[in-house]
């Protein structure tokens, strides 16, 4: 039940709000009517001017003049597009207003937003004697109008009215609060008694004087009755508090143990990822090394045969040519596969050293992302998923490349495991852009998407949709903690079911020193749907 002050305040606020609401509704209706009339007048004016000025220019096929007339009519922001059609050649000229307000040429019949109005263009020519001939339809004009200005004006008026109502309600509440202090100051006595009863020993609190004969007197007498009853249970409450305090201490110790265990699991997950990288790269290197070894063996056999023929004096030109062809092909295979193996070893060596050492250094972001993706090729080549990198070449980070490699690896593998069905085709995009002293990295896929009930939990530890199938639920939790703690950045996720998911990472170009030394711990994720 509301108190006296609350009821009075609510009553006056409701009255003022209703009156202002009715007034504002009428004003909004009047403003909307005026805007509609002005918009209709604008439409009629534009069509009238176009029907007057365009036919002669269209009759003469003067495209420059038509373009100038159309461009002049595109000045009002309410016009979205004007298209002029000739009866013989079709679309003759057109202008379209872009999202930034600029006007560009329109050369196609692509759909245009806004309501369209069509008018025919009739040309009146005078005969040789000066007599007016029958009008000739030379084309038509299609004008698209936008209601955005009307809607924006009405929305601004609604906001102004709402602010006005809120401001008047606030002033009214403040005025009532000041005027009713005379009535409610006595309640402070009761409040102080309640506070003393809650914070001091029950034996130290005296009962309040109950000589009043109004509503406050009844409240005071009720307080005294409650005080007498509370005194009998204060002791039991304190005993319960002691027990609760002991339980809280035990819970805190258990929480510390849980956090230590969780940190161990997180470290094990990172090492397991590095171990998978080692196995994949080793398997990938085996193929080019085997091809190089086979080519070297073939080259050695051909060399021995030529050497024997030379020693016996039976060498022929055809033998030499055949040997040169074999040597060239073998050398090409050896070089290509040796280069491939060296590239894999270089990428693996840099990423592995970064992940183990956690050293800070300056590095070019695009090249490093490419090395990380190359190290994932042993897994990517088994799928039909393509990874595309869109990153400017001039972005240089002063940060921790090992932690960044872990982030990119976990996000990419998360897409592979959760976003696509086996044997399904798909695309993973890693898009980077610079924003001042920060970068924004978007890892997006066109897979299944994330269910709405999972969006606010994807960064929580041990949350996975592949429980029992190898999923630990730590991959995205590691990503979140690295971005927030290691890089002093932020990460959000958005997804529409059936249309893929998008992870947006934001981090500084130069990682703060204090952020790099922060302990990686589990935290709550901020997720946007």
pLDDT score recorded for residue 522: 38
Domain final residue pick, 132, 154, 176: 154
Tens-digit pLDDT profile for residues 283-319: 566 677 777 778 788 778 888 888 887 888 777 778 7
Tens-digit pLDDT profile for residues 493-520: 999 888 899 999 999 999 988 765 554 4
Tens-digit pLDDT profile for residues 273-286: 556 556 555 656 66
What's the structural domain count of the chain? 2
pLDDT score recorded for residue 515: 63
Q: Is residue 235 part of a domain?
A: no
Q: Is residue 181 part of a domain?
A: no
pLDDT score recorded for residue 523: 36
Q: Which residues of 168-197 are buried (b: 16+ CB within 10 A; e: fewer)?
A: ebeebeeebeeebeeeeeebeeeeebeeeb
Residue 51's Cβ-count burial label (10 Å; 0-12, 13-18, 19+) is middle
Of 359 and 41, the structure prediction assigns the larger pLDDT to 41
Report how far apart, in Å, the C-alpha atoms of 300 and of each of 44, 111, 294 are.
90, 69, 10
pLDDT score recorded for residue 263: 67
pTM above 0.85, yes or no: no
Tens-digit pLDDT profile for residues 407-435: 898 899 888 888 888 888 899 999 999 99
pLDDT at 182 over 80: no
CA neighbours closer than 13 Å in the CB half-sphere of residue 351: 31
CATH of the domain at 364: 3.30.565.10
Most confident range (mean pLDDT) of 104-108, 185-189, 255-259, 388-392 is 388-392
Q: Is residue 92 part of a domain?
A: yes
Of 472 and 181, the structure prediction assigns the larger pLDDT to 181
Name the pLDDT band for 126 (thresholds 50, 70, 90). Answer: low
Closest C-alpha among 492, 462, 491 to residue 474: 462
pLDDT at 490 over 60: yes
Q: Is residue 234 part of a domain?
A: no
pLDDT score recorded for residue 128: 47
- 2-16, 27-41, 91-105: least confident range: 2-16
Q: Is residue 231 part of a domain?
A: no
Assess contact for 281 and 378: CB atoms under 8 A.
yes
Assess contact for 62 and 54: CB atoms under 8 A.
no
> Mean pLDDT of all residues in the chain?
79
Assess contact for 58 and 86: CB atoms under 8 A.
yes
pLDDT score recorded for residue 281: 58
pLDDT score recorded for residue 217: 72
pLDDT at 463 over 70: no
Assigned token pair, 160: 């102004």
Assess contact for 347 and 374: CB atoms under 8 A.
yes
| DSSP assignment of 303-344 | HHHHHHHHHHT---HHHHHHHHHHHHHHHHHHHHHHHHHHHH
pLDDT score recorded for residue 521: 38
Domain final residue pick, 154, 178, 193: 154
Tens-digit pLDDT profile for residues 9-40: 788 888 888 888 898 888 888 888 888 888 88
Assigned token pair, 146: 């936008």
pLDDT over 70 percentage in the chain: 79
Read off the pLDDT of each residue in 96-114 and give the average, rounded to a whole number: 84
Domain final residue pick, 154, 181, 211: 154
- 47-51, 253-257, 332-336, 502-506: least confident range: 332-336
CATH of the domain at 14: 3.30.450
Q: Which residues pair with 431 in a beta bridge?
A: 390, 442
> How many angstroms separate the CA atoms of 128 and 149, rounded?
49
Query: Which structural domain range is residue 91 located in?
Result: 4-154
Q: Is residue 466 part of a domain?
A: yes
Q: Is residue 119 part of a domain?
A: yes
73: which residues sit within 8 A by CB, 6+ positions away? 46, 49, 50, 79, 82
Read off the pLDDT of each residue in 326-334 and give the average, rounded to a whole number: 81
| DSSP assignment of 17-28 | HHHHHHHHHHHH
pLDDT score recorded for residue 353: 52
Q: Is residue 453 part of a domain?
A: yes
pLDDT at 99 over 60: yes
């Amino acid at each position: 039940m509301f108190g006296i002050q609350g009821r009075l305040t609510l009553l006056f606020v409701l009255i003022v709000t209703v009156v202002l609401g009715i007034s504002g509704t009428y004003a909004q209706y009047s403003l909307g009517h005026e805007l509609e009339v002005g918009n209709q007048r604008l439409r009629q004016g534009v069509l009238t001017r176009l029907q007057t000025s365009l036919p002669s220019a269209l009759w003469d096929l003067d495209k420059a003049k038509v373009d100038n007339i159309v461009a002049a009519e595109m000045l009002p922001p309410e016009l979205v597009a004007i298209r002029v059609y000739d009866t013989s050649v079709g679309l003759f000229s057109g202008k379209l207003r872009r999202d930034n307000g600029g006007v560009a040429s329109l050369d196609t019949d692509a759909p245009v937003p806004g309501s369209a109005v069509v008018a025919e263009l009739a040309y009146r020519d005078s005969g040789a004697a000066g007599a007016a001939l029958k009008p000739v339809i030379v084309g038509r004009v299609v004008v698209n109008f936008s209601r955005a200005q009307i809607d924006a004006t009405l929305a601004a008026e609604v906001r102004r009215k709402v602010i006005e109502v809120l401001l008047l309600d606030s002033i009214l509440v403040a005025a009532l609060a000041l005027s009713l202090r005379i009535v409610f100051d006595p309640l402070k006595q009761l409040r102080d008694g309640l506070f003393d009863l809650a914070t001091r020993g029950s034996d130290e609190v005296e009962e309040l004087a109950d000589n009043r004969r109004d509503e406050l007197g009844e409240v005071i007498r009720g307080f005294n009755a409650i005080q007498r009853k509370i005194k009998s249970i204060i002791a039991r409450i304190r005993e319960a508090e002691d027990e609760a305090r002991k339980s809280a201490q035990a819970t805190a110790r258990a929480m510390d143990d849980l956090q230590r265990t969780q940190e161990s699991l997180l470290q094990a997950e990172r090492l397991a990822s590095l171990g998978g990288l080692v196995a994949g790269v080793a398997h990938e290197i085996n193929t080019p090394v085997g091809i190089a070894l086979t080519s070297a063996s073939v080259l050695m056999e051909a060399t021995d045969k030529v050497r024997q023929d030379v020693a016996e004096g039976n060498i022929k030109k055809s033998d030499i040519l055949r040997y040169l062809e074999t040597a060239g092909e073998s050398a090409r295979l050896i070089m290509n596969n040796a280069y491939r193996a060296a590239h894999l070893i270089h990428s693996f060596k840099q990423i592995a050293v970064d992940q183990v050492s956690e050293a800070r250094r300056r590095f070019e972001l695009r090249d490093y992302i490419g090395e990380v993706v190359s190290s994932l090729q042993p897994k990517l080549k088994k799928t039909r998923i393509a990874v595309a990198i869109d990153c400017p070449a001039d972005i240089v980070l002063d940060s921790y490349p090992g932690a960044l490699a872990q982030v990119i690896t976990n996000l990419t593998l998360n897409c592979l495991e959760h976003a696509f069905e086996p044997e399904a085709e798909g695309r993973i995009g890693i898009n980077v852009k610079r924003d001042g002293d920060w970068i924004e990295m978007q890892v997006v896929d066109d897979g299944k998407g994330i269910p709405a009930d999972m969006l606010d939990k994807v960064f929580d530890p041990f949350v996975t949709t592949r429980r029992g199938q190898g999923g630990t639920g730590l991959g995205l939790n590691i990503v979140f903690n690295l971005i927030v703690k290691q890089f002093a950045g932020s990460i959000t996720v958005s997804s529409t079911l059936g249309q893929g998911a998008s992870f947006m990472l934001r981090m500084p170009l130069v990682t703060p020193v204090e952020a790099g030394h922060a302990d990686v711990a589990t935290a709550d994720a901020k997720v946007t749907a």
